[in-house]
Each structure stands twice: as C-alpha cells, then as structure tokens.
Chain A
C-alpha cells in the first residue's frame, strides 16, 4: 500500500511560475526523498532530506520537512516546460531492516510554455 498522499494530484502552471507539491506520510521516517518521472519511464532522484533536517535546496528545488505534521513540500522555482513530469515523494521508514522506499501517489505537473 502507498505510504501517503500527495497534493495536488495534478497541477498546471505557466512557464516562469513556481510549483509547489505537498506530501504526507504515516510513519516515523529515516529520510524522505523526491523523485521525478517522465512519461512512465524510470525515476530520477531529485533530493533527499533526513528526518533531522527541516529544509534543503538544490538548484531551483527547495524541500521542506515537518516531522511533527508528517509532511513535506517540494517547491520548483521559475518552472520550465522541461519540468513537466510526475513527481513522487518516497520515505524510508526509521528502524526498518531495509532502505525500501514507500512512495506516495504522485503529482502530475504540466508547465505550459
């Protein structure tokens, strides 16, 4: 079963605007990761944030983590048409025997040129 929900399910914006996606999860985590997927192909790792971190930046990406609310957000600034893809958050549960990823349901982002 999925770990949690992502919100919104779909988002359509104009090029140059910012895109914000939210993710909620259910259990205590070791870390949370965001992935991007183009047209049902392989996932590309974007960023990892550990449970003791609150914010992380990578280029045009900004991720926040609120462990008290069991939620995270991904902000893409100055979006481009090439950012059009599905975005997934995934958690690694704390105390688990493996580092398996538990994925959310994904947000489909469409950036209009």
Chain B
C-alpha cells in the first residue's frame, strides 16, 4: 500500500475528447509527479507539482495540463485526445527514499 490512489482505473475516450485523471496522496506529500507509460515502454515524465505550482515539465505538449490542490489531491487533464495518448498514466508522491506510485489509470483512445 503506497498511500497513493488513482481514479478511474480504466477509461475509454474518443479521439478529440478531453479527459481528467485524478490522484490522491497522503497528507504531507507536497510533491506529485505524473508519468505516461506506453505499452512496452518505461514511464515518461509529464510534469511535477510542488505546493500547487508546476515546477518541472517533460516533453509533452500544452494540451497536457495539471492541477494540485491543498488537500494533496491532483489532476491530469488532457485536451484534444489523440490515439497515441493511449497509455497507462501514473501519479507518484515524492518520499525521501524514492517515489510512491499509484496503481495507474489505463486510458484507451479510440
């Protein structure tokens, strides 16, 4: 049990639609990161939030955006979905010993 929960676990959307994925961390976890993992690949860093501010971003277009809330929950929003956005999306809280990951949301874009 990592203390990080994500919802939903699975989601199917149509190309062009928008999607919001949610993540909930334990109290005191001030830093949350989001990763995209395509099938057969390692996770790729999307962005990181610290105390509700984005403080780092990977090589993802602006249609990938996020929010972090005071209650240690966060969101990943993706606009204008493309087929290549189909992937497992993971959020993670930063701990001194490493990062604690949620179970992920499997997004399928059709």
Q: Measuring CB to CB, which residues of chain B are less than 8 angstroms from any residue of chain A?
A: 2, 4, 6, 31, 33, 35, 37, 39, 41-45, 48, 55-56, 58-59, 88, 90, 92, 94, 97-104, 106
Q: Is the CB of B44 within 8 A of A103?
A: yes
- Give chain B's interface secondary structure class: strand
- Give chain A's interface secondary structure class: loop
Q: Closest 9 A-B residue pairs measured CB to CB?
A: A103-B42, A98-B56, A45-B98, A42-B103, A42-B101, A43-B101, A100-B45, A98-B48, A48-B98
Total chain A interface residues with beta-carbon distance under 8 A: 24
Q: Check A2/B42 contact, CB under 8 A, given A40-B88, A42-B90, A101-B99.
A: yes
- Distance, CA A88 to CA B101, complexed state (A): 13
For residue A22, give the distance in angstroms from its CB to the closest CB of chain B. 15
What are 18 A-to-B residue pairs whose CB atoms are below 8 Å? A2-B44, A40-B106, A42-B6, A43-B92, A43-B101, A45-B97, A45-B101, A48-B98, A90-B42, A96-B56, A100-B45, A100-B48, A100-B58, A101-B45, A102-B45, A103-B43, A105-B42, A106-B42
Q: Measuring CB to CB, which residues of chain A are less than 8 angstroms from any residue of chain B?
A: 1-2, 33, 35, 40-45, 48, 88, 90, 96-106
Closest A residue to B106 by beta carbon equals: A40
Q: Check A105/B33 contact, CB under 8 A, given A42-B90, A100-B58.
A: no
Q: Is the CB of B41 within 8 A of A2?
A: yes
For residue B70, give the distance in angstroms from its CB to the closest CB of chain A. 20
Q: Is the CB of B98 within 8 A of A98?
A: no
Q: Is the CB of B97 within 8 A of A48?
A: yes
For residue B96, give the distance in angstroms from its CB to the closest CB of chain A. 9
From A35, A41, A90, A102, contact of B103 by CB (8 A): A41
Q: Is the CB of B56 within 8 A of A101?
A: no
